Structure formats: C-alpha cells, structure tokens
Amino acid sequence: MKKDILFFGMLAFFMANAADTNVPSKFSIVTFAIGNYENNWQKELPLSKKTANTLVNSFKKNFNDKYPNVMFSSRQYENEQVTKLRFTGTETDNYNFVFYSGHGNVNRITMWPQGERVWQKNGISEKAFGGKTYWAMLNSCLVFKNGESNQEPWFNGVHSILGYSSTSKWYKESHRCGFLYLKTCHNYSYYAERDFVTNWIKEKQGIWEAYKNAIYKWIYKKGGYGVEPKIVYRYGNVDGKFFDPWKETFENSIQKPVFKKKGEYIGIGSRWVKFGTPEYE
C-alpha cells in the first residue's frame, strides 16, 4: 500500500512538472501610455499610465505566483516619451509583449508631440510588430473597427493583437460595501488588464478567452459600458502543426515569430464579441 502511495505521489509530481516544461524561460514587456497630450491636442486620459502600471505589476505577480523561474523584464514610457520614432523603431522588437494606452481611431493611434500618429493605411505600414514581439495590446478606440479597419499591415511575425472594434472605456467609480455598507469600495477599468493577465498566466486560458472574460467582467458587467473587444491574427501551419493564435496559452506559447510573409500562412483572422451597446464614434 505504501509503495502504491509513493508511486502515485511521484507520478503526480512528475506530471505536474512535465506540464511546466514548455513554459517560456523569460518574458519581457514594454508599455506606452499617454495620459496628458502636448497642448491638450487630445482629451486627457488620467487612468492611462495607471493602466500600464497595473498590467506590468499583474505580470510580475502572476509569474511570481505561478512560474517563479520565468525571467521577467519590463520597460515603460509615458507621455512625452511616447514618440512615433520610439514606437515604430526597432526597440519594441526586443520585447515579447507591447502595450499601448492612448487615443486612437480606425487604423491609427496617437503619439507625442502634437498631431503625431502611427498610421496603417492604403496597405502601407508605419508599424508592423515583429522581432521578439509575439503579442500586442492596443487599449485605444476603434483601431480594429469592423468593416473599416485593415489589420494586415500590423503584422510582421507577431502572433496576435488585442484591441477594440468599438470605443474603449476608462472609468473609476466608488460604492458603499462591506458590513452594513459602512466601507467605500472602488472599481477601476484597469482591473480588466489586471485580470487579463491572471486569466492568461495563472488560469491558463487562451489569450482571447483571457482578454474577453476580463473585459466582460470589468468594463461591461462592473462598469456598465457597452464595448466590442477584438483579437486579430494570422493563422496557418507552424512546424507542421496548425496554429490558431487566438487559442494560444502562455505556458504552451510558440517562442518565435510566425507568418511573416505571404505564403507562410493560410489566412487573416479576427474574433470579436459585442457586450451591451458599444459606441463607434
């Protein structure tokens, strides 16, 4: 009996450790967040920098809790540091995850200084994510608006990009809570970014499920805002196996660029879901 217990105990140990053998050994993220624009040429976004900080801190915490051996590194840029030259340059290619938080519109996001944007139009790309960048998130309005956007120019090896077909939402709200409602509790839109990471890293959800579930909970259910989150990607065969990037988990993620050129992939895909009544202008 003791031998059986020992055997099954060792089997469980090896199975648990075997499940982690595919986990990447390192992870890096760079964030770009604009809260205040030069000469107020765009509306102030007071939660933009906090959103980027929350995302980075959630990655730190979840790696520490779930995969403490993953080597984590980050770099963060704010306001006047978020220039077109820096965002479109090769520096971002050195990070696995690129995050942007600021104003945008169909096929474009805003930069510093006044009037500066990163555009994707007429099939011409001012920024195509590649190099070591496998995932990106654009927390910005309308960049991937259904029926109007062209996601193709953003790709140069990146697996998938998360964003919105509708306007995105930032909010903070206070409410009474606790015993006899004597406490004041707060909800923030950036809890969505926090929980996206938890869903993806700790809960081992696919990247789209992780993102969609977090947006549903904190933007739609808790915040009460209608939105249309979206993921865009190329799909096809990688090393002889079909790869559908919207299903990608972190622990079994492909650690190299994919589908850089036409002929290397089968098609261009996207998934989206409409929560409530989103806004599109």
pLDDT in tens, 136-181: 999 999 999 999 999 999 999 999 999 999 999 999 988 888 888 8
Contacts of 156 (CB under 8 A, 6+ apart): 125, 128, 129, 130, 257, 260
Helix (H) or strand (E) holding 9: helix 2-18
DSSP 148: T
Residue with tokens 């009996």: 1
**Is the model's pLDDT at 226 over the cut of 70?**
yes
Indicate the residue type of 149: S
User: Is residue 226 within 8 Å of residue 215, measured between CB atoms?
Assistant: no
User: pTM (2 decimals)?
Assistant: 0.91
Half-sphere exposure of 36 (CA within 13 A, CB side): 2
Q: How far, in Å, CA of 106 to CA of 153, rounded? A: 13
* Across 1-15, 21-35, 65-79, least confident range: 1-15
Between CA 245 and CA 249, with CA 246 as vertex, the angle to 5 degrees is 80
CA nearest 162: which of 134, 123, 127, 125? 134
